[in-house]
Structure 1
Amino acid sequence: MRQRITFLQEPQDSLDPKLLEVTSDSISTKELKAAREDRVTFGFDELPQELYRVLKASHELHIRWVSPNNYNTIAPLVSRLSPGLHLFYTPQRNNNGSNLLCPMLKKVFGDLDCQSPEKSFTTLPVERFALSAATQYYQPLESLHDLVEYGQHKLCQSSDQECLSRISSLLDASSVDIDFDTISHALTITAFWPPQTRHLSVKNTIKNTRLEVGILSVESPKEPEELSLGGFLTVVGEDTKPSPTLFSFPARHHPTGSTFSASFLTPTGMHPTLELGISSSRPPTEERSCSLHAHLTLPRAIFVDKYQLSDQLLLASKNLSAVHYITTPVDLEAPAYAMTLWGSSVLVELAPPSSGAEQPWTEQPWTAAIPLHLRYLPPTSSTSGQSPLHIPYPVVFWACVADEGSKFPINPFDRVNLGYDGLFGPKTMFYHLPPEGDTLINTITVPVLDLDKSKYVELGTAGVVLLGFLWVGWCLWRVWSRNPYGSGANKVAKEKKKQ
């Protein structure tokens, strides 16, 4: 097992290394204002047998969970995803072990609507670039209670209070990543907590385990595509004092000064419109070609009609430029309760307004609108005939072309397999717009059949059918009684026989 704990600070919050207390098995200080990232790497022999069997049948498995509560980021940990549980999966070839994946996910994360990768997952365009897994799955998930309970029982000893405490702290994390691939043959868990003032006390309670603690702050980089970090590193159990460090690396993800909001126009109806409010149309850099995008992760109850968004006049009227990707296939008619696929994802390029040829951008806020469509939801037993639908915020970012010589994999904080990065070239930099608001979930109400009132519809329908049957029978009887064709024909036949 290898452990890496990184505290990231703003330059004005930098800590004096003299305030750090380093012992043979711990490092501590009283107050530290910083964001925190924990990364733990497990070997195959350290994993539960049931989890080992799932990973052995996987070529790569990437799980991303993001909290529905808004949070602040800090460079270089600025990449974002829509809130909820994301899974990107590629099975081993000629291996039938993929049927173990969904039962394992339910055991770790709770009651997920996952039947099997063949039925519930959607495919990704892996033929374009190597940054994408083969399939994708998503489900809204507010908390990691089930993951914490599983980790405490399967990954920690009952007497190891440090391990139990660190697993429990995942309940307060803003994002958690779980990564596995056949090249590394290791499972890595990475958790992020946003900046706050905290008491630092980290112990290494496991023998023969490397625990590295870094306290770093952002420095001014030499190149626009780079990030620089400086501070102190300590290997707990080996170092007697922190060691100063300063390093730079090309970064795939960068922050921006702009923000965005996401809300639905009212009334929503069965064809709601998602409105994105952007604080500025100014690109993050004018030295490179950049385009603004929104990546939507839509549960199965709501979808985008790709045929509607193929109309260029409609796109222009909504401040949209093009739709670059929509999950296929997307059934435009099926109700939500008849589907097994998790939903769909959409990549839309936005069209920022410009103030003229000399300045092709404006600092004024502007909006873009994305038309969506609802599916019929399962009937409920509510008296209102309305059902709430929770739709996660999209991710909004500028995609800019990096220099040919940039090599992002050397970044120790690199983050890939986010769903949208595989839709761009490997030399793309992403400048993320942070969302506004306290929560990253929009809730709308959808009209559904009320089961408490449907009995009147059923009785009324049965009554109308019965009345219609009686009316048809009465009409047939009237015709027969007035003109009994059968009896007249028999009488004529008898008279002919007598003659």
Structure 2
Amino acid sequence: MRERITFVQKLGESLEPSALAVGSDTITGPEVHAVREDRLTIALDDLSKELQTLVTSAHDLHIRWVSTTAYEAVSPLLARLPPGFHLFFTPGKDEAATNKLCPLLGDIFGGIVCSSPNESFTSLPRDTFSHSATFQYFQQLDSLSQFVQYAKRRLCRSTDASCSARLDGLASASSLDISYDPVQQVLRVTALRPYERQQVHVTSHPQLRTEVGILSTDNPQTLEPHEIGISGLLTVLGQDSKPSPTMFTFASRHRDAEFTFSAQFLAPTGLHPTLQLRLASNAPPTPTQHDDDDTTCAPYAYLTLPRPIFADRHQLSDPLFLVSKNLTALRYTTQPVDLEAPEYVMTQGGSAVLLELSPPPPPSPSQPKKSDKEEWTAEIPLHLRYLAPAQGGYSAVSVPYPAVFWACEPSGGAAAFPPNPFDKVQLGYDGLFRDGTVFWHVEPRPVGGGGGEGVTSLVNVVSVPVLDLDKARWVNAGTAAAVLVGFAWVVWKLAGVYLYGGDGGEGERGKAGKKKRQ
């Protein structure tokens, strides 16, 4: 096994080599304002038997977890997904091992309610672009506590307090990625902590090769418009006696749009809530930042919706309706989506939607120019399913913020990005674009805050009216009484028809009696 720990600072921030103390198995230094990335690479032989069987039976396996707490990212660690648990999976030929995936995910992460890939996973399109996985699964998962306990049992010895302490640190992680590489036969586990004050202190273990990097973004003179520069210090613990300076550049598919957005449901929500996105800028990435002149850029919102809520693709196919909501087109939605089924009878997991947004056009030359950037909104109509009865008559549905980005897609067949140490693929939406597409990510900013003492949750909660279990017994009794009264009335009417012949009480016997009286 080997690990790579990287502190990534912003442009202009750096640390002098003299500020670091390198020992035989440790490196210490001052606090730095940085993002911390911990990556553990585990060889196939070091995995447990159950994990070996699982990963070797999969052609593609990528697990992404994103925290519901707002965080600031730093280039080049900018790739984003909506908060929650995401799985991207392409099964192999071993069907028996594939069917063990859901129970194993439940043991590792807890709270995963999928039954089997065939029933719970949704299919990703592979007719246009072939660089995506076959299946996708999404579920809201707020905590990694179950995963931490599982990792402690599998990776830490009872006497290794430092191992347990490092895993406990995942409570503050902003994201966790687990990917299996079938070519190199390794499992990579990557945890990302948000941009904040981080203490530089790393201790290596005898079984691990530990590399520590303290890096920051850079702009060398040789930097190409489509590249990102990185410089800083690298140290291999147990091998280097002092940090070594480094500088390198690479083309990155994930970049910073340098503005923010927020999302909230318009009131009143009802059973057909509308999610409003408020974006701080309508300006696309500048032409000097494009890879070539043939690149076409457009803003997108990628939503992963839990089972109780969905988008109606028929409604989102009406051009006039889309224009009224500042939307351009529905580019992708999970299919099929049952529009009528209540939530409690469904076995399929959540759905995914990719919408192209329609920003307001820049002012014409005859209009006064207030600013290059203009705040604007887009509205996404959604629909709630009928939910199971609950105490109090209401249930809460949590809907994560979408991922919002500008996608600059090459018009021709551009070459794929060369690998780099911080690249991230298999995000669900990247497989819906051509190779060579650049994603300019917009940072989510919760309504009412974004850090500190403000609102920090990247989840909107909708209160849904349902049958109140406390009053259900009166509903049952009332329904039974109504049915009984209705049944009695029908029986009474049928008896009247039988007894009086159906002539308003003057059947044959009634008429005979009437004749005798005359």
Specify the alignment match of 2:347 in structure 1. 340
* 1:144-223 alignment runs, 5 A limit: 144-207=144-207, 209-220=208-219, 222-223=223-224
Aligned partner of residue 99 in structure 2, secondary structure: helix
Aligned partner of residue 151 in structure 1, secondary structure: helix
Structure 1 residue identity aligned to 2:57: A
Specify the alignment match of 2:315 in structure 1. 308
- 1:139 lines up with 2:147 in the alignment: no
Specify the alignment match of 2:402 in structure 1. 394
Work out whether residues 162 and 205 of structure 1, in 8 Å CA contact, stay in contact via their aligned partners in 2. no
Deviation of the 1:67 alpha carbon? 0.4
The percent of aligned pairs where both chains have the same amino acid is: 49
Specify the alignment match of 1:35 in structure 2. 35
Which shows bigger deviation, 243-252 or 335-344? 335-344
Relative to structure 1, is the Cα distance of residues 12 and 465 closer, same or farther in structure 2, using a 3 angstrom cutoff? same
Specify the alignment match of 1:496 in structure 2. none
Structure 1 residue identity aligned to 2:276: E
Specify the alignment match of 1:413 in structure 2. 422
Specify the alignment match of 1:46 in structure 2. 46
**Partner Cα separation in structure 2 for residue 24 and residue 294 of structure 1:** 48
Specify the alignment match of 1:241 in structure 2. 242
**Partner Cα separation in structure 2 for residue 421 and residue 53 of structure 1:** 28
| 1:312-332, Cα deviation, whole Å (9 max, x unpaired) | 000111110011100010111
- 1:423 lines up with 2:432 in the alignment: yes
**Partner Cα separation in structure 2 for residue 326 and residue 405 of structure 1:** 25
Structure 1 residue identity aligned to 2:332: Y
| 1:5-59, Cα deviation, whole Å (9 max, x unpaired) | 1100124431111010001111111322211001000011111112112112111
Aligned partner of residue 65 in structure 1, secondary structure: strand
Work out whether residues 336 and 376 of structure 1, in 8 Å CA contact, stay in contact via their aligned partners in 2. yes
Aligned partner of residue 305 in structure 1, secondary structure: coil
Work out whether residues 250 and 406 of structure 1, in 8 Å CA contact, stay in contact via their aligned partners in 2. no
| 1:262-283, Cα deviation, whole Å (9 max, x unpaired) | 0111101111111110111000
Work out whether residues 131 and 416 of structure 1, in 8 Å CA contact, stay in contact via their aligned partners in 2. no
Number of residues paired by the alignment? 486
Specify the alignment match of 1:452 in structure 2. 470
**Partner Cα separation in structure 2 for residue 377 and residue 76 of structure 1:** 42
| 1:187-209, Cα deviation, whole Å (9 max, x unpaired) | 000010112222221111223x3
Specify the alignment match of 1:328 in structure 2. 335
**Partner Cα separation in structure 1 for residue 17 and residue 124 of structure 2:** 47
Work out whether residues 57 and 96 of structure 1, in 8 Å CA contact, stay in contact via their aligned partners in 2. no
Aligned partner of residue 165 in structure 1, secondary structure: helix
Which shows bigger deviation, 405-414 or 176-185? 405-414
Work out whether residues 63 and 86 of structure 1, in 8 Å CA contact, stay in contact via their aligned partners in 2. yes
**Partner Cα separation in structure 1 for residue 500 and residue 407 of structure 2:** 83
**Partner Cα separation in structure 2 for residue 484 and residue 71 of structure 1:** 78
**Partner Cα separation in structure 2 for residue 442 and residue 280 of structure 1:** 22
Work out whether residues 312 and 383 of structure 2, in 8 Å CA contact, stay in contact via their aligned partners in 1. yes
Structure 1 residue identity aligned to 2:24: S
Deviation of the 1:484 alpha carbon? 9.8
Question: Which 5+ residue runs of structure 1 have no aligned equivalent?
Answer: 493-499
Work out whether residues 496 and 502 of structure 2, in 8 Å CA contact, stay in contact via their aligned partners in 1. no
Structure 1 residue identity aligned to 2:82: S
Work out whether residues 283 and 374 of structure 2, in 8 Å CA contact, stay in contact via their aligned partners in 1. no
Specify the alignment match of 1:318 in structure 2. 325
Candidates 352, 360, 377, aligned match of 1:367: 377
Structure 2 residue identity aligned to 1:46: D
Relative to structure 1, is the Cα distance of residues 371 and 362 closer, same or farther in structure 2, using a 3 angstrom cutoff? farther
Relative to structure 1, is the Cα distance of residues 469 and 24 closer, same or farther in structure 2, using a 3 angstrom cutoff? same
- Per the normalisation by structure 2, the TM-score is 0.90
Specify the alignment match of 1:495 in structure 2. none
Deviation of the 1:140 alpha carbon? 0.5
Deviation of the 1:429 alpha carbon? 0.3
**Partner Cα separation in structure 1 for residue 302 and residue 231 of structure 2:** 33
Aligned partner of residue 223 in structure 1, secondary structure: coil
**Partner Cα separation in structure 2 for residue 413 and residue 144 of structure 1:** 23
Aligned CA RMSD, in angstroms, stands at 2.1
Structure 1 residue identity aligned to 2:483: V
Work out whether residues 36 and 198 of structure 2, in 8 Å CA contact, stay in contact via their aligned partners in 1. no
Specify the alignment match of 1:467 in structure 2. 485
**Partner Cα separation in structure 1 for residue 422 and residue 42 of structure 2:** 18
Work out whether residues 229 and 249 of structure 2, in 8 Å CA contact, stay in contact via their aligned partners in 1. yes
Aligned partner of residue 470 in structure 2, secondary structure: helix
Work out whether residues 226 and 251 of structure 2, in 8 Å CA contact, stay in contact via their aligned partners in 1. yes
| 1:444-494, Cα deviation, whole Å (9 max, x unpaired) | 111111111121111111111111121122223333333499x979xx9xx
Deviation of the 1:357 alpha carbon? 5.2
Specify the alignment match of 1:435 in structure 2. 444
**Partner Cα separation in structure 2 for residue 407 and residue 25 of structure 1:** 39
Specify the alignment match of 2:451 in structure 1. none
Relative to structure 1, is the Cα distance of residues 488 and 297 closer, same or farther in structure 2, using a 3 angstrom cutoff? same
